[in-house]
Structure 1
């Protein structure tokens, strides 16, 4: 669903998705530097935002310091995104491009990997802002597990990450390629050298930012 009166120049909403240790954070940092160097107004965000009240509850859960029902933690992750929705839209309309490390797709992929119904997982995300570009950093779970720091948080277990990869594949086969979903979805081979991954991302992001500057409408996620 497109918002009316949104034909003015604006920033782009760019989301990086992928398994744990796929390189999202480092590529977000590199992309921020690239766009900033070109003179764009740009900010880097990540979800969960652990600085909010909801985010602190999520952080405790991820660090294995608390226990929550699978549905309860899913709704907290969703609430964490909703509490930033208004500011996100304000930033975009002011001309600031947002680079977001994880978004609704992570929430759905991880929760459905636990066995929750994928449509139930998507429901609380409906109406959040739809990205203009989704970059999926594709890496086999086994390769990601070899990277430094793996295993530090609750979800960084190889068998679980395999299930998450399958959930992402379902999303990529449906939502990301649906004509009802207005974002461009780009799969990036995250096994390539860091510089090669960065080059692939730069090319597709540059086109996206220009398109949004020309007045592409802001859309809402999974509403049709």
Structure 2
């Protein structure tokens, strides 16, 4: 009887050791990722597809966080990784920011607008125009307003939308101009034209935020690699 029980216990110990080794090596486990909408299709979706091919045993839970800022959830351990917009030199205690890409803002004008014939606009060219808001309060709006301030004006926002597709609809109807980041223009309204801006060109820096204590975890490192690959593609 003891021999039979010992054999069962031996098998269970071996299985536990194998499961623990897989967990330590990042072949199994669970990752919780928070992201915002425009980063989803462009970055998170292809990165997740690549990650699942190489690490099918790790479960990934995704949560879209617009309009909340997911960084506090990373610091509290409620998320293993979050896609965030932060300045290049930003620092947050206990959090490591991995820069993924810079997403420049573009001028969005109604078709037939007097500036639509120009390929590149000075941001100050839009100073006297009515504006359609495209950002809710937060880091993205801060980038936009800082760019306008550097160009010497504050935008006269007549319509607030806080949604890129909706903002394009208002612009197409001739209610104003807008600044929308390039990632937010994947589905372009046929009634608008998009132009680069300069002097300055507002740019939002997109990062992956992880806890400093989690750096080096195999599954998390694998996901960061997949996100970097997605940005280069």
Structure of greater Rg:
2
TM-score norm. by structure 2 comes to: 0.24
Greater RCO, 1 or 2 (C-alpha within 8 Å, sep 6+): 1
Structure that is richer in helix per residue: 1
Structure that is richer in strand per residue: 2
TM-score norm. by structure 1 comes to: 0.25
